[in-house]
Amino acid sequence: MEVMDALKGRQSVKNYLSTPVETEKLNRILEAGRLAPSAYNHQYRRFIVVTDHALKKEIREKAGTQPMVEQAPVLIVYCATEDIDFTMPNGEKTYPIDAGICGGYMMLEAYDQGLGACWLGVFDPEAVKEVLNLPEEVKVVTMIPIGYHDGTQERKPRKPLEETVSYNKY
């Protein structure tokens, strides 16, 4: 698939079929995340793959998050593992930027595999950390449910290029 086709077709999927995700497809998504760039090539990340329904239900209930966490066959929990306070010279921390790039790679690969995905930012990270028994120094940054889209949700339109691009000044 062409990258631009994936960019135009991918959407944030919120409703999933119960069809299991094939191991080969999941591995390609995880590999896409592994290959994503990171600041200074630190690669300070860990993917926790949650497929156990009871565990996903506990995450949804304790972390106060959306039903898709439990509904999707796979939940990838993205964690920053080291040097969470590392700051670039521009004053920005690297871990959220690394997570955004990595999550984007994984969601595009999910689309290429015929799957849907969604970036989640509304949840209690400490509750997720507790449910998954993560070490104190690990930070839960996002969760990405993955599965087959049930087809009930249309892709939302994007603003035209003219509204989002300026040259040489704002």
The percent of residues above 70 in pLDDT, for the chain, comes to 100
Q: Which structure tokens are listed for 137? A: 């120094």
Q: What is the pLDDT of residue 86?
A: 82
Q: What is the pLDDT of residue 117?
A: 97
Structure-derived torsion over alpha carbons of residues 129, 147, 120, 95, reported in degrees to the nearest 10: 70
Q: What is the pLDDT of residue 58?
A: 96
pLDDT band of residue 82 (cuts 50, 70, 90) is: confident
Structural domains in the chain, CATH included, are 3-151 (3.40.109.10)
- Dist. CA 131–CA 128, nearest whole Å: 5
Q: What is the pLDDT of residue 48?
A: 98
Position 83 pLDDT exceeds 80: no
Q: What is the pLDDT of residue 114?
A: 96
- Give mean pLDDT, residues 40-49: 93
pLDDT tens for 86-137 read 888 999 999 999 999 999 999 999 999 999 999 999 999 999 999 999 999 9
Residue identified by tokens 């120094």 is 137
Q: What is the pLDDT of residue 85?
A: 78
Q: What is the pLDDT of residue 65?
A: 84
Contact (Cβ atoms closer than 8 angstroms) between residue 51 and residue 23: no
Q: What is the chain's mean pLDDT, rounded?
A: 93
Contact (Cβ atoms closer than 8 angstroms) between residue 29 and residue 113: yes
In one-letter notation, the amino acid at residue 20 is P
pLDDT tens for 136-159 read 999 999 999 999 999 888 888 889
- Dist. CA 124–CA 169, nearest whole Å: 39
